[in-house]
């Protein structure tokens, strides 16, 4: 496959392996915390409706929980095992944990400050959340019957004494610990009340519209019913986070059995974080610290509501005036023009669908049509995350029951979706689908669907390459691309990719697709090298890329080399970025921005000037399922595919990528010191999410594209203007 349009590349000598250290790389974990701070900052964005601000705050809390369950747990495990290998920025596990703890404390203080602010604003708008400081007598009167009938039978107080060992507390478990005094004798008793996960975290207050009380506060209010004959001397709320990662045994004989066992074991993982109310008495904190293995856990004192992720329940209050206006995604006119026949539309020309602005129903229609079409003989599908209610699974089952050959690659190692994927795999197998679990040591993260259809005297293969999961819920809030093609080269490559996963048959020659863990990193380095050669030869050069995370030292090193050669580099990295931009002598030509807003930017798009300035059709353009991280290059099955159809190329390059580059309402610029500065819109505000909600796409317009002039492309604006 040629890398340039007109001439062979002049590939410069490869640089030495990257030199590690804080001068060249940001710490991955601290960069992630900076991202979560940007998420939390959206809770302060007055341009968002009030309940949407609360949603951002709850998301930042949920993100932080997962960070502890996986990333901090991993570092803690290294520390306990005496592993002292430094990160790319030169920090040991112990040093990283110390800095993480300090940064998390600052972040949590800011989250709680924002919760207090939003709590007051919600009250002004008629949404009351009762807690400390509320009228306890009035709440007891309003909720007494509810507590007795609905909560009391479920709670199980447990005494803490030598005869009663400390109970097991599940991951993200919330509880209240009490010091009690028996009124009759003065005897002191210590009790623990765990809040079952089956109970709602917020209970509606009868007789008050849109009024709620946190269930742990309700337990405090009715302590006399739980402990009759006792007086409460002191109490405190706490919560724990456990290690929730699953380690894969390379010699596992049965991957399904291993995961069923590992999921059960994960529920009892080591405690990583113990959260305590800031005013919890020291003696109660000491009990929890000793009995919950707090000596190995990070202990955080929270001056406010513990477990901010639970605030998401309040976002569901029926107050449309306090939420984003409802948005209905468009269905591509190209497919409507073909009477809803997805195959006919794709056969006529490649098409890209931009989610969530264009409906995920296109993907479902593609699979449903394949299931019902008597000429379709085979369907192959990767499944990473499909959700709890999956029309994709139903379509595959219907296809198998109709007698078609259906193969589903179900990824059991999709973190926190392992149990759901086991259930889907079981249902698929019962319907006659050939279920494959892929590699033991690698995750299958590529999002590919392949349909083989009998047409005329032969067969035609239709492919879907996605940057996001086959998940109908996240497809409404994640920005992703669905690329449909009937290009025979893509079909042959997809077939080889599936054979690699199902039969370990390594592809001999791929015509369009590049795969990891085979050679994606090398291909990207070569593409960057072509830009270096162009810059040195005085030709136009440039790298423009959008992704979720940039961590890989080899790729970062090649970008530094490109910057040294004078290649302009514009990166849109939503989350983690370990590259230091704008450093004299290292990365002067590199700019990095992060976009955080109503929709979660998830698509991976990479463009290389290829001897032509952007925008230009000669620029080499790719979409991918991969981020630029070691795990995506070395431990996952991923794809990248070039976009060659002119209309699709224009849409992705001139609309999607350029809109991300010029957004100035939801964008943050990464500074050389690792800080992020929010862009100010100035005289020409541009919000990329608003733009795509209000402007139709190019490739989905069909004949209407030639009849109307309402499909603008965006003039690319460099940092110099």
For residue 478, what are the β-bridge partners? 600
Among 227, 213, 249, residue whose Cα is nearest residue 182: 227
Q: Write the CA distances from 672 to 275, 577, 593, 719, 721, integer angstroms.
A: 34, 12, 12, 16, 21
CA torsion, ordered 34, 36, 38, 41, to nearest 10 deg: -130
Q: What DSSP letter does each residue of 531-597 carry, written as one string?
A: HHHHHHTT----EEEEES-B--HHHHHHHHHHHHTT--EEEEESS-B-B--S-TTTSTTEEEEEE-S
Catalytic residue among 354, 355, 445, 649: 445
Say which residue the tokens 């206006």 belong to. Answer: 325
Half-sphere exposure of 687 (CA within 13 A, CB side): 12
Read off the tokens for 592.
């990095």
CA–CA separation, 507 and 498 (whole Å) = 10
Q: Is position 649 annotated as part of the catalytic site?
A: no
Among 688, 560, 571, residue whose Cα is nearest residue 628: 571
Q: Would you call 543 exposed, middle or buried from its count of C-beta atoms within 10 A (0-12, 13-18, 19+)?
A: buried
Q: Write the CA distances from 423 to 247, 257, 264, 386, 418, integer angstroms.
A: 20, 13, 15, 11, 9
8-state DSSP, 674: S
Hey, is 606 helix, strand or coil?
strand
Mutual orientation of helices 361-372 and 391-401 as an angle, nearest 10°?
10
For residue 125, what are the β-bridge partners? none
CA–CA separation, 651 and 635 (whole Å) = 31
So which residues are the catalytic ones? 445
């Amino acid at each position: 496959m040629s890398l340039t349009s007109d001439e062979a590349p002049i590939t410069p000598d490869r640089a030495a392996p990257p030199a590690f250290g804080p001068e060249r790389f940001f710490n991955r974990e601290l960069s992630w915390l900076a991202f979560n701070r940007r998420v939390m900052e959206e809770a302060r964005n007055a341009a968002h409706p009030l309940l949407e601000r609360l949603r951002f705050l709850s998301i930042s809390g949920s993100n932080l929980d997962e960070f502890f369950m996986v990333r901090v747990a991993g570092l803690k495990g290294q520390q306990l095992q005496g592993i002292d290998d430094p990160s790319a920025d030169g920090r040991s596990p112990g040093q990283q944990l110390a800095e993480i703890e300090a940064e998390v404390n600052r972040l949590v203080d800011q989250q709680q400050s924002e919760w207090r602010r939003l709590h007051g604003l919600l009250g002004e708008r008629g949404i009351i959340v009762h807690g400390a400081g509320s009228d306890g007598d009035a709440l007891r009167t309003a909720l007494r019957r509810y507590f007795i009938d609905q909560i009391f039978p479920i709670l199980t107080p447990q005494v803490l004494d030598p005869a009663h060992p400390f109970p097991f507390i599940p991951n993200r478990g919330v509880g209240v610990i009490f010091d009690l005094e028996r009124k009759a004798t003065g005897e002191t008793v210590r009790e623990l009340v765990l809040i079952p996960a089956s109970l709602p975290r917020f209970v509606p207050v009868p007789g008050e519209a849109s009024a709620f009380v946190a269930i742990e506060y309700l337990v405090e209010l009715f302590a006399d019913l739980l402990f009759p004959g006792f007086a409460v001397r002191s109490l405190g709320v706490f919560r724990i986070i456990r290690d929730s990662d699953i380690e894969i045994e390379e010699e596992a004989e049965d991957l399904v059995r291993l995961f069923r066992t590992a999921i059960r074991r994960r529920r009892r993982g080591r405690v990583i974080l113990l959260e305590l109310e800031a005013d919890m008495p020291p003696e109660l904190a000491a009990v929890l610290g000793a009995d919950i293995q707090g000596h190995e856990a990070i202990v955080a004192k929270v001056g406010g509501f513990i477990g901010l992720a639970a605030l998401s329940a309040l976002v569901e209050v029926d107050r449309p005036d306090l939420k984003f206006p409802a948005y209905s995604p468009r269905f591509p006119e190209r497919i409507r023009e073909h009477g809803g026949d997805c195959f006919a539309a794709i056969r006529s020309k490649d098409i890209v669908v931009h989610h969530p602005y264009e409906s995920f129903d296109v993907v479902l229609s593609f699979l449903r049509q394949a299931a019902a079409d008597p000429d379709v003989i085979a369907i192959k599908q990767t499944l990473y995350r499909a959700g709890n209610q999956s029309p994709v699974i139903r379509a595959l089952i219907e296809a198998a029951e109709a007698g078609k050959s259906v193969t589903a690659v179900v990824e059991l190692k999709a973190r926190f979706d392992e149990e759901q994927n086991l259930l889907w795999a079981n249902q698929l197998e019962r319907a006659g689908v050939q279920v494959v679990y892929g590699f033991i040591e690698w995750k299958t993260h590529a999002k590919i669907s392949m349909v083989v259809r009998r047409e005329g005297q032969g067969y035609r293969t239709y492919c879907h390459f996605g940057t996001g999961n086959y998940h109908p819920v996240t497809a409404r809030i994640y920005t992703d691309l669905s690329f449909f093609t009937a290009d025979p080269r893509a079909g042959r490559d997809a077939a080889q990719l599936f054979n690699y996963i199902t039969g370990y048959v390594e592809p001999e020659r791929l015509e369009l697709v590049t795969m990891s863990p085979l050679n994606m990193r090398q291909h990207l380095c070569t593409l960057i090298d072509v830009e270096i050669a162009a810059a040195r030869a005085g030709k136009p050069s440039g790298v423009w890329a959008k992704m979720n995370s940039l961590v890989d030292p080899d790729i970062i090193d090649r970008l530094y080399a490109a910057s040294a050669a004078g290649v302009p580099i514009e990166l849109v990295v939503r989350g983690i970025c370990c590259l230091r931009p704008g450093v004299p002598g290292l990365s002067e030509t590199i700019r990095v921005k992060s976009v955080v807003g109503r929709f979660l930017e998830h698509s991976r798009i990479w463009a290389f000037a290829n001897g032509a300035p952007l925008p230009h059709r000669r620029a080499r353009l790719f979409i991918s399922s991969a981020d630029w991280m070691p795990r995506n290059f070395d431990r996952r099955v991923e794809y990248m595919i070039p976009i060659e159809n002119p209309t699709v190329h224009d849409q992705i390059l001139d609309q999607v990528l350029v809109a991300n580059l010029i957004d100035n309402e939801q964008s943050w610029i990464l500074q050389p010191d690792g800080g992020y500065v929010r862009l100010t819109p100035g005289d020409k505000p541009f919000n990329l999410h608003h733009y795509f909600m209000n402007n139709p796409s190019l490739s989905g317009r069909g004949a209407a594209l030639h009849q109307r002039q309402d499909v603008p492309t965006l003039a690319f604006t460099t940092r110099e203007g």
